[in-house]
Chain A
Amino acid sequence: MQKIGKQTIKFDNPPTISQTACIVGPKESDGPLAKYFDQCLEDEFWGEDSWEKAESKIIKETVNTLISKSGIPSDKIDYCFAGDLLNQCISSSFGLRELNIPFFGIFGACSTFVEGMSLASVFVESGIEHAICASSSHFCSAEKQFRFPLELGNQRTPTAQWTVTGAGAAIISKSGTGPFITHITPGKIVDMGIKDANNMGAAMAPAAFDTLMTHFKDTGRKPSYYDAIITGDLGYIGKEILIDLMLADGYNIKSNYNDCGVMIFDKEKQDTHAGGSGCGCCGSVFSGYLFKQLKAKKLKRILLIATGALTNSTSNQQGESIPGIAHAISIEL
């Protein structure tokens, strides 16, 4: 493991992503990526009596599915990194309390999945065998905590994003057949003063831009090196902004760039306005769709950049701006 450039870590023995799993809610199950998910739920409660319990169950069952799919006995898994959007990360800690694997609760808002993958791969490179990373979000619990009750008859703005109900999880292992995590570029907090909580894409795009530029400078790579550059949940507006920002600095990413929040829903049919968001967005799209594309060798080199808006409802009501963050990992076969 060595640090190259300003922020990037290059792995000498790149850790493998040996398996992934994901479970998504009913709306995601109607979306264009439905066939790639391990399990699609029919209702948001999943037999529980609150949204919070349902979210915990989603992350718990995702990790259970992951472990059984991977064939690795759970006592051979050394550490677990997980996080979500609810206060004090209760979905992850409640969902995984019976897992009996040493646990790190992490928070990076919607960038949590890649934050977990980065930390897990550093741990694996340092000598352990297997580490799990997982993240979840739930539309209803997120609306309840950050916005208004679901039954309230209000209108969403065109820039608002739809929190994904779902969870993604991955096992990072020391040895295996790939795909390999070759580089990680943890991002800086970037705040360009956006205050509109209904325009998270615009708040996070500068952070994604900063991390992306830093990654290219640190590694000496160009956008064309990757088959796909995928951001976490910038949505339609953030995606357009990032393309513009990159173009202004002389990088054209238009041809091989997409966003998980854009990919997971059908904007026209599903009325999701600016696209998907949430920890479960990047988590489920990577664990479901992207991992399978890598395994099938349809994509050979991808750069995954999960983006997070580091805000809560109190800071927002107090008129604070929304700081953004973005972490990148380079995954290659």
Chain B
Amino acid sequence: MKPLDTKKGYQDYVDKKSPNSPILKNCFNAFWVGGLICSIGQVILFICKQRGLDTQTSGTIVSIILIGISAFLTGLNIFNRIGKLAGAGSLIPITGFANSIVAPAMEYKSEGYVMGVGGKMFTVAGPVLVFGISASIIVGLVYLIFNSQSITLV
């Protein structure tokens, strides 16, 4: 049977012919870079707590600092190199979220501040926001219903 006889046959042939992503290497890099980012966050958290701030305020400061660093590195064209190496390792922490907003803002600046930066800023992060907020509302509702019937979930 020749590869072009059927579409299914061709797809199978192409799958066999195309190299896969180096999953082990990618996982390893994602693990240590992601771990490093989280460790930096933890160090900042400890420093804040040592200065006498409560856990919640310290957490907020960690987010602000990591977002700031990530946005800054995106602007310097460095974050995409980290992302290329680490994949989900730098994408999943809050650093990836900051990058996904700053990158389109930079890219579409040539279309002006309103329709370009403003309109296109959330093209990548938009789905995360929509489904993230939707999911948190559903979880919140579930929590509210069960808690009001005096069943404690947490």
Contact = CB atoms under 8 A, between A and B. Distances in A.
**Interface size grouping (class) on chain B:** 35 or more
Contacts of A149: 103-104, 106-108, 124
Given A192-B10, A193-B10, A245-B3, A153 B17 contact: no
Contact of A151 (B17, B22, B79, B110): B79
A50 B79 contact: no
A240 B17 contact: yes
B3 to A, nearest CB: 6
Interface in A239-258: 240-241, 244-245, 248-249
Contacts of A144: 107
Given A151-B103, A151-B107, A192-B10, A202 B17 contact: yes
A154 B83 contact: yes
Contacts of B96: 153
B14 A153 contact: no
Interface in B71-118: 74-75, 77, 79-84, 86-87, 90-91, 96, 99-100, 102-104, 106-108, 110
Contacts of B107: 144, 149-151
**Interface size grouping (class) on chain A:** 20 to 34
A194 interface: yes
A50 B106 CA distance: 11
B17 to A, nearest CB: 6
Contacts of A156: 84
A153 B91 contact: yes
A241 B14 CA distance: 8
B18 A237 contact: yes
A212 to B, nearest CB: 13
A296 interface: no
A208 to B, nearest CB: 12
A190 to B, nearest CB: 9
Contact of A241 (B17, B103, B108): B17
Given A159-B18, A193-B11, A202-B18, A152 B82 contact: no
Interface of A: 49-52, 144, 148-159, 192-194, 199, 202, 206, 209, 237, 240-241, 244-245, 248-249
Given A151-B75, A199-B14, 9 more contacts: A151-B80, A153-B91, A154-B83, A154-B87, A157-B21, A192-B4, A237-B19, A241-B13, A241-B17
Interface of B: 2-4, 7, 10-11, 13-14, 17-22, 26, 74-75, 77, 79-84, 86-87, 90-91, 96, 99-100, 102-104, 106-108, 110, 124
8 contacts: A49-B110, A50-B110, A149-B106, A152-B80, A154-B87, A158-B20, A193-B11, A202-B18
